[in-house]
Amino acid sequence: FERLSRNRWERYKRMIRRGYTNRWNFFCTYTYDSKKHTEETFRRSLMNTLYHLSSRRDWRYIGAWERGELGERLHFHALTYISEGQMPGEVEEHEDYSTKRHRREKSIQNSFFNARFGRSDFSKVDNAYEVGDSIKYISKNDEKVVYSRGLKTYFVSDILDEDILCKMGDEEHGFKYILAPNFTCMVDGEIMGTVSPKMIEKMP
């Protein structure tokens, strides 16, 4: 990253905490068609749609607005979790010409969002590296980051000594610990299981 301002750095740290504490399975981009929306109605309508998907279908997302390099068309990027059976519309493969890369490319789009807004792109997120890349992409400009309800920023767990790889800090400022990637989660001394996205959801 380039040198970040204090505010932007704090914002990025919040995104990182939430990014690695919650489950994700898609990186989504929503772009509007001028025949369907103005910028103002697109912003309002998309946010309203995502709000209802979050409250009614348990969608989770971290996202931000951005303008395209070509034509500066407004669009919205979101790291998203969609549980099984909660995707509206049909997910379809499309092949279009990319004006940015000057070649034909395949993409996965959603009929529900295409019909309402213009175009949608859904890319699978399969591992922590892709989560990190998605967060960096979302945070690359100064636009306000939008979070759905229900995202955890942290969780509370007792820690076994053998799960501590190393200790940082001092007594005056407090210690922080780097843990094994498969550390054991515990609540009030009770072993809950090995850390995983599903386990984190159960933790306080």
H or E segment to which residue 109 belongs: strand 103-110
Under DSSP, is residue 11 helix (H, G, I), strand (E, B) or coil?
helix
Residue 145 DSSP symbol? P
Q: Taking the alpha carbons of 196, 87, 106, 121 in that order, is the dihedral positive or negative?
A: negative
Look up residue 168 and give its amino acid. Answer: M
Residue 196 DSSP symbol? -
DSSP count for the chain of H helices, then E strands: 5, 11
pLDDT (tens digit, 0 to 9) for every residue of the chain, 204 residues total? Answer: 455 567 777 888 888 889 989 999 999 999 999 999 999 999 999 999 999 999 999 999 999 999 877 667 899 999 999 999 999 999 999 887 666 656 777 899 999 999 999 999 999 999 989 999 999 999 888 788 999 988 888 889 998 999 999 988 887 778 888 899 899 999 998 999 998 878 888 899
Tell me the C-alpha distance between 199 and 92, whole Å: 32
In the numeric block, the tokens 């990253």 are attached to 1
